[in-house]
């Protein structure tokens, strides 16, 4: 009794597995999944996505909290990274593979076998009978040569009867189609391998500094793949000589951003000098450097009673500009923290790389775009108190909760200002820093290969057509009667013309030969 | 010649082309309705004149800006319209010998050019750094060729749907009215002008080529466009890898070109599936065309993304 139950259950399990497999194998399932992928992509392009439109997502949370919450739960703010998007394309690729395995096996079988002979030519869609001067063997041998020259696969008949042959052409259609479809699985391989063992990070490098490619030097601005380890970082070095941003004046339309740099290998050996621009990345040891952004880094020198306590370039940043204002019109912000002093001191700087920008704002109330460095000037506000350094803090933000405002002023390039209590600040130089996107992707060549195979496969899959042809010859007086039958599986109307031409050629060659003798 | 002179030449030639296309469109529609050889001759003459002026306009624009003439939406639209007309004249009329569709094709180009000149016009100027790459030649040329062929295929598809509907109706209705023996399994009845027409036959006269011909022309054009579009997407990915450091980032332009690709891939599969050939497949092609329009207009103008600067 119990054994019957288990066997039934086992059967149903096997049956249901077979059903799932059958469903996955059907082209309709694959097409439905492809359609779903398209629909999901539409959603991903209409709903603001994390990474590309963060501001719009925040605005939605503010204005329509309920809707934003539902969207968030459904993963609509990160469609392309959501579990259901991954599920759709994984299922699609499994379904694709399930379709392709049997097709590939059939294809291989088909290539190995030879065209099958047939005797019932008059039932074919296309059929012609012609007398020729040559005897049957000769006529068939000629036909074979003609068809071979036209890239038909030809097989002669074996086992008695009058001479005959079978021919076919257009296997490229199926081969191309299979190549095209398999390549999508190759894309998955390239993507997983490349992203899994690679990384994308951002390096902030001030002019004159050297930066070493290692996980610790990204200041957390790095995304690593699941299998990326320290061994995947290259240790190459890049020395930035100079960064130049060119704008068209007066429109402020960007013209060029260039980082002039020298590359060194992991042992410190000089490799070459490069200009990194938008669209022109530099590559060394499989690591690529892309021009990503830039900013200003004033050199600030702080002294206590003439002794330097903080000195060097300080990286300034900008917040997002309010609507209607260009980032070029805004000043740059940075912070210097002096935790060794008692009481502790923090100085906030606001940098105007072109001092005319500040004066224009003061005089007219409207800032002008600062396109180049011109008599740079900084306003500063010094605070005294507790920096609260024991809390995790952003280096570019000053937390003034435990501090009191102490001194305020303006400092121009080359000037020194006394803050009192023996503390002085000087601004000897203004430099720029460049932000380079640093990237390693070992799967790129696989992706490239897959893309190439997609195109190579697509052309015969769309334009080639499968055609079959049979020829027999029977003796008739001194010559013979040639019968030709055939059909095309695709492009039938075109085959009609081709068939007529082929028949002429198949029977005409023999005639010409006789004429020439 | 100076930049201003080239620029003016480009604008003038553009206007000449636009009016020549309008004249050609009227001529083609007249030919469609009344089948006068003269109408077709003058219409195609006007279309060829327009095409020459249009080519001059695009070239002059390139000289005025000192770069390839497809750097912004106005230039892209103009080139798209040019390629649609060129493909029609050389492929549909030249190769397929189908002459009746010129009016619809020219109407599409006139509309595209009118939108370009009214809403998208900007003066010639250099490219922003992100567009300054030799990939702009490869990627954009492929995208624009693919789009113009898709557009052409879809115009023919619309006509196919109209004609197919008419043929079905007449196949169902005409036979009893004529009282003769019309073999419904054969090709649908096609009446020459002035032939022995049934009552009310004027409306049933075959204005357009037979549906089967339209269907074939539409399919061939789309099947020709598909690999080119595939190549455009791949070239875009390679360019993105160079410019932005990633080959695919689901930027709206990338997403929509992928959606368009998926829909036309669906169309090609539908054509190979029994029960989906004909009208259903045609509807898929039209959805694909709608998606193409979104890829081009909506993404550039309304959806914020990395391709936004490629806009107006």
> Looking at beta carbons, which residues of chain A come within 8 Å of B265?
34
pLDDT of residue A513: 42
Strand-pair partners of A417:
A425
Last residue of a domain, one of B93, B126, B159: B126
Whether residue A30 is found in the same domain as residue A118? no
Closest to A274 measured CA to CA, from A265, A286, A266, A282: A282
Residue A98 tokens read as: 């399930």
Given the structure tokens 């269907």, which residue do they identify?
B215
Q: Is A489 on the interface with B (CB under 8 A)?
A: no
Q: Is residue A448 part of a domain?
A: no
Are B53 and B13 contacting, i.e. CB atoms less than 8 angstroms apart?
Answer: yes
Whether residue B88 is found in the same domain as residue B18? yes
> Looking at beta carbons, which residues of chain A come within 8 Å of B262?
34-35, 37-38, 41
Whether residue A90 is found in the same domain as residue A135? no
Rg of chain B over CA atoms, in angstroms? 22
Are B139 and B218 contacting, i.e. CB atoms less than 8 angstroms apart?
Answer: no
Last residue of a domain, one of B69, B97, B126: B126
- Whole-number Å distance between alpha carbons of B127 and B131: 6
Strand-pair partners of A257:
A245
DSSP string, A389-447: TTS---TT----TTEEEEEEEEEETT-EEEEETTEEEEEEEEEEEEEEEEEE-TTHHHH
Q: Is residue A188 part of a domain?
A: no
Number of H helices, E strands in chain B: 9, 0
Q: Taking the CB of residue A478, how many other CB atoms lie within 10 A of it?
A: 8
Last residue of a domain, one of B107, B126, B145: B126
Q: Do B262 and A493 touch (CB under 8 A)?
A: no
The burial of A32, by beta-carbon neighbours within 10 Å (0-12 exposed, 13-18 middle, 19 or more buried), is given as middle
Whether residue A290 is found in the same domain as residue A310? no
Whether residue B112 is found in the same domain as residue B20? yes
**Segment holding A277, helix H or strand E:** strand A270-277
Whether residue B146 is found in the same domain as residue B269? yes
**Low-confidence stretches of chain B (pLDDT beneath 70):** 126-130, 172-206, 302-312
Q: Taking the CB of residue A92, how many other CB atoms lie within 10 A of it?
A: 22
Digits of tens for pLDDT over chain A (517 positions)? 444 445 555 668 888 888 888 888 888 888 889 889 999 999 988 888 887 777 788 888 888 999 999 998 888 898 988 899 999 999 999 999 998 999 999 999 988 888 887 777 878 888 888 888 888 888 888 888 889 988 899 888 665 677 888 999 988 999 999 999 999 999 999 999 998 999 999 999 999 999 999 988 998 888 898 888 888 899 999 999 999 988 877 777 778 889 999 999 999 899 999 999 888 899 999 899 999 889 999 999 999 988 899 899 999 998 877 877 888 888 999 999 998 888 899 999 999 999 988 888 888 888 788 888 889 999 999 999 888 877 766 777 888 888 899 989 999 999 999 988 889 999 999 999 999 999 999 999 999 999 999 999 999 998 888 899 999 888 888 888 888 999 988 877 778 888 888 888 888 744 444 433 3
Rg of chain A over CA atoms, in angstroms? 37
Q: Is residue B92 part of a domain?
A: yes
Whether residue B148 is found in the same domain as residue B235? yes
What residues contact B58, with CB distance under 8 A and at least 6 apart? B10, B69, B75, B78, B79, B82
Q: Is residue B71 part of a domain?
A: yes
For the stretch B125-138, pLDDT in tens is: 766 666 777 788 88
- Whole-number Å distance between alpha carbons of B106 and B109: 5
Are B245 and A200 contacting, i.e. CB atoms less than 8 angstroms apart?
Answer: yes
Q: Is B276 on the interface with A (CB under 8 A)?
A: no
Q: Is residue A234 part of a domain?
A: yes
pLDDT of residue B252: 84
pLDDT of residue A289: 95
Residue A291 tokens read as: 């021009």
Whether residue B221 is found in the same domain as residue B236? yes
Which CA distances in Å does B173 have to A342, B179, B184, B288?
101, 11, 11, 33
Last residue of a domain, one of A79, A104, A129: A104
Q: Is A253 on the interface with B (CB under 8 A)?
A: yes
Whether residue A481 is found in the same domain as residue A425? no
Closest partner residue to B250 (CB to CB) among A34, A44, A444 is A44
Q: Is A61 on the interface with B (CB under 8 A)?
A: no
Whether residue A263 is found in the same domain as residue A357? no
Q: Do B129 and A462 touch (CB under 8 A)?
A: no
Angle between helices B3-34 and B37-65 (to 10 degrees): 160
Whether residue A250 is found in the same domain as residue A158? no
Whether residue B87 is found in the same domain as residue B136? no
Whether residue B86 is found in the same domain as residue B163? no
Residue A197 tokens read as: 């063992």
DSSP string, A120-187: -GGGSSEEEEEEESS-HHHHHHHHHHHHHHTT-EEEE--SSSS-EEEEEE-HHHHHHHHHHHHHHHHH
Domain encompassing residue B48: 3-126
Domain encompassing residue A256: 194-294+437-442
Closest to B131 measured CA to CA, from B298, B256, B312, B309: B309
Q: Do A254 and B128 touch (CB under 8 A)?
A: yes
Q: Tell me, rounded to whole angstroms, the distance of Cα A73 from its chain centroid.
A: 27
Whether residue A218 is found in the same domain as residue A233? yes
Q: What is the DSSP letter of B60?
A: H
CA dihedral B283, B288, B292, B294 (to 10 degrees): 80
Q: Do A462 and B227 touch (CB under 8 A)?
A: yes
Are B57 and B51 contacting, i.e. CB atoms less than 8 angstroms apart?
Answer: no
Q: Do B305 and A462 touch (CB under 8 A)?
A: no
Q: Is A27 on the interface with B (CB under 8 A)?
A: yes
> Looking at beta carbons, which residues of chain B come within 8 Å of A257?
129
What residues contact A346, with CB distance under 8 A and at least 6 apart? A335, A336, A337, A338, A382, A383, A387, A398, A400, A403
Q: In terms of CA atoms, which chain B residue is nearest residue A441?
A: B246
Q: Is B15 on the interface with A (CB under 8 A)?
A: no
Q: Do B230 and A46 touch (CB under 8 A)?
A: no
pLDDT of residue B199: 38
Q: Taking the CB of residue A321, how many other CB atoms lie within 10 A of it?
A: 12
3-class DSSP assignment, residue B99? coil
Whether residue B135 is found in the same domain as residue B121? no
3-class DSSP assignment, residue B218? helix
Whether residue A161 is found in the same domain as residue A144? yes
Residues making up chain B, counted from first to last: 312
Residue B277: phi and psi, rounded to 5, are: -60, 165
Q: Are strands A377-385 and A153-156 parallel, antiparallel or unpaired?
A: unpaired
Whether residue B131 is found in the same domain as residue B117? no
Mutation to test the B interface, candidates A278, A290, A291, A437, most B Cβ within 10 Å = A278
Q: In terms of CA atoms, which chain B residue is nearest residue A293?
A: B244
Q: Is B287 on the interface with A (CB under 8 A)?
A: no
pLDDT of residue B160: 92
- Whole-number Å distance between alpha carbons of A152 and B3: 58
Q: Is residue B186 part of a domain?
A: no
Half-sphere exposure of residue B73: CA atoms within 13 angstroms, side-chain side: 24
Please report the sign of the dihedral spanned by the C-alpha atoms of residue A171, residue A174, residue A175, residue A176.
positive
Given the structure tokens 């490869």, which residue do they identify?
B138
Domain count of chain A? 4
Whether residue A509 is found in the same domain as residue A391? no
Q: Do B126 and A255 touch (CB under 8 A)?
A: yes
Whether residue B142 is found in the same domain as residue B121? no
Mutation to test the B interface, candidates A33, A40, A45, A257, most B Cβ within 10 Å = A45
Whether residue A423 is found in the same domain as residue A300? yes
Q: Is A309 on the interface with B (CB under 8 A)?
A: no
Whether residue A305 is found in the same domain as residue A238? no
CA B158-B164-B168 angle, to 5 degrees, is 155
Closest to A442 measured CA to CA, from A191, A265, A81: A191
- Whole-number Å distance between alpha carbons of A492 and A295: 65
Residue A233 tokens read as: 């970082």
- Whole-number Å distance between alpha carbons of B208 and B167: 11
The burial of A363, by beta-carbon neighbours within 10 Å (0-12 exposed, 13-18 middle, 19 or more buried), is given as exposed
Q: Is residue B245 part of a domain?
A: yes
Q: Is residue A420 part of a domain?
A: yes
Are B68 and B137 contacting, i.e. CB atoms less than 8 angstroms apart?
Answer: yes
CB-based burial, B82-104: b 16+ in 10 Å, e otherwise: bbbbbbbbebbbeebebebbbbb
Whether residue B117 is found in the same domain as residue B250? no
ipTM: 0.81
The burial of A5, by beta-carbon neighbours within 10 Å (0-12 exposed, 13-18 middle, 19 or more buried), is given as exposed
Closest to B75 measured CA to CA, from B89, B57, B87, B88: B57
Domain count of chain B? 2
Q: Is A2 on the interface with B (CB under 8 A)?
A: no
Given the structure tokens 């010639």, which residue do they identify?
B124
Q: Is residue A307 part of a domain?
A: yes
Q: What is the DSSP letter of B203?
A: G
Q: Taking the CB of residue A270, how many other CB atoms lie within 10 A of it?
A: 11
Q: Tell me, rounded to whole angstroms, the distance of Cα B69 from its chain centroid.
A: 20
User: Does residue A343 have a cis peptide bond before it, meaning omega lies within 30 degrees of 0?
Assistant: yes
Mutation to test the A interface, candidates B225, B237, B250, most A Cβ within 10 Å = B250
**Segment holding B41, helix H or strand E:** helix B37-65
Closest partner residue to A38 (CB to CB) among B135, B241, B263 is B263
Q: How far is B27 from chain A (nearest CA, A)?
A: 32
Closest to B61 measured CA to CA, from B51, B48, B71: B71
What is the CATH classification number for the domain harbouring A497?
A: 3.30.530.20
Whether residue A42 is found in the same domain as residue A70? yes
Q: Do A451 and B242 touch (CB under 8 A)?
A: no
Whether residue B99 is found in the same domain as residue B136? no
């Amino acid at each position: 009794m119990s054994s019957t139950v288990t066997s039934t259950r086992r059967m149903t399990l096997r049956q249901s597995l077979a059903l799932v497999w059958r469903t996955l194998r059907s082209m309709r399932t694959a097409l439905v999944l492809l359609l779903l992928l398209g629909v999901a992509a539409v959603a991903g392009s209409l709903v603001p996505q994390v990474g590309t439109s963060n501001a719009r997502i925040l605005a939605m949370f503010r204005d329509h909290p309920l809707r934003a919450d539902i969207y968030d739960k459904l993963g609509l703010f990160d469609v392309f990274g959501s579990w259901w998007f991954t599920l759709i394309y994984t299922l699609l690729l499994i379904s694709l593979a399930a379709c392709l395995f049997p097709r590939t096996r059939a294809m291989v079988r088909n290539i190995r076998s030879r065209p099958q002979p047939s005797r019932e030519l008059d039932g074919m869609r296309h059929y012609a009978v012609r007398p020729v001067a040559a005897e049957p063997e000769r006529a068939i041998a000629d036909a074979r040569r003609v068809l071979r020259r036209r890239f038909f696969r030809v097989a002669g008949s074996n086992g008695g009867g009058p001479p005959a042959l079978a021919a076919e052409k257009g296997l490229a259609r199926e081969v191309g189609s299979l190549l095209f479809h398999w390549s999508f699985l190759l894309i998955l391989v390239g993507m997983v391998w490349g992203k899994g063992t690679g990384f994308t990070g951002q390096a902030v490098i001030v002019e004159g500094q050297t930066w070493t490619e290692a996980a610790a030097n990204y200041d957390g601005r790095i995304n690593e793949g699941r299998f990326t380890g320290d061994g995947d970082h290259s240790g190459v070095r890049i020395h930035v000589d100079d960064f130049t941003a060119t704008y068209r004046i007066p429109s402020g339309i960007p013209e060029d951003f260039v980082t002039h740099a020298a590359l060194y290998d992991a042992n410190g050996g000089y490799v070459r000098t490069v200009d990194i621009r938008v669209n022109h990345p530099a590559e060394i040891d499989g690591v690529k450097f892309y021009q990503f952004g830039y900013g200003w880094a004033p050199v600030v020198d702080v002294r206590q009673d003439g002794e330097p306590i903080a000195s060097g370039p300080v990286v300034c940043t900008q917040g997002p500009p309010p609507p209607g204002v260009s980032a070029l019109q805004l000043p740059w912000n940075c912070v210097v923290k002096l935790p060794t002093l008692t009481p502790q001191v923090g100085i906030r700087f606001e940098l105007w790389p072109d001092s005319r920008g500040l004066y224009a704002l003061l005089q007219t109330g409207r800032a002008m775009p600062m396109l180049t460095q011109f008599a740079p000037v900084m306003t500063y506000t010094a605070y005294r108190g507790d920096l609260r350094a024991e809390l995790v803090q952003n280096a570019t933000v000053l937390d003034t909760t435990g501090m009191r405002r102490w001194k305020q002023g303006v400092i121009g390039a080359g000037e020194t200002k006394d803050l009192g209590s023996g503390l002085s600040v000087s601004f000897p130089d203004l430099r720029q820093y460049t932000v380079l996107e640093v990237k390693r992707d070992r799967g790129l060549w696989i992706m490239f290969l897959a893309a190439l195979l997609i195109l190579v496969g697509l052309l015969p899959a769309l334009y080639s057509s499968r055609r079959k042809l049979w020829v027999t010859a029977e003796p008739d007086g001194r010559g013979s009667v040639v019968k030709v039958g055939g059909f095309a599986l695709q492009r039938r109307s075109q085959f009609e013309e081709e068939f007529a031409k082929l028949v002429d050629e198949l029977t005409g060659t023999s005639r010409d030969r006789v004429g020439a003798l | 010649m100076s930049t201003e002179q080239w620029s003016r030449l480009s604008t003038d030639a553009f206007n000449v082309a636009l009016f020549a296309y309008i004249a050609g469109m009227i001529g083609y529609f007249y030919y469609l309705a009344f089948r006068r050889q003269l109408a077709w001759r003058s219409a195609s003459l006007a279309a060829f004149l327009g095409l020459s002026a249009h080519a001059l306009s695009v070239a002059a624009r390139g000289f005025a800006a000192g770069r390839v003439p497809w750097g912004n939406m106005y230039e892209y639209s103009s080139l798209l319209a040019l390629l649609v007309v060129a493909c029609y004249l050389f492929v549909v009329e030249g190769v397929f010998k189908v002459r009746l569709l010129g009016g619809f094709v020219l109407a599409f180009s006139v509309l595209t050019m009118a939108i370009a000149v009214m809403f998208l016009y900007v003066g010639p100027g250099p490219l922003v750094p992100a567009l300054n790459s030799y990939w702009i030649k490869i990627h954009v040329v492929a995208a624009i060729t693919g789009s113009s062929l898709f557009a052409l295929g879809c115009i023919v598809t619309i006509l196919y749907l109209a004609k197919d509907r008419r043929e079905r109706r007449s196949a169902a209705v005409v036979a009893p009215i004529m009282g003769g023996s019309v073999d419904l399994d054969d090709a649908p009845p096609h009446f020459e002008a002035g032939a022995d027409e049934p009552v009310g036959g004027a409306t049933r006269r075959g204005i357009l080529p037979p549906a089967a011909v339209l269907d074939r022309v539409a399919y061939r054009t789309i099947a020709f466009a598909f690999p080119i579009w595939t190549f455009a997407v791949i070239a875009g990915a390679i360019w993105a890898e160079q410019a932005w450091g990633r080959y695919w980032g689901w930027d709206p332009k990338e997403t929509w070109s992928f959606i368009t690709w998926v829909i036309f891939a669906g169309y090609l599969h539908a054509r190979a599936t029994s029960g989906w050939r004909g009208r259903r497949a045609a509807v898929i092609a039209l959805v694909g065309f709608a998606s193409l329009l979104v890829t081009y207009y909506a993404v550039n103008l309304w959806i914020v993304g990395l391709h936004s600067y490629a806009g107006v």
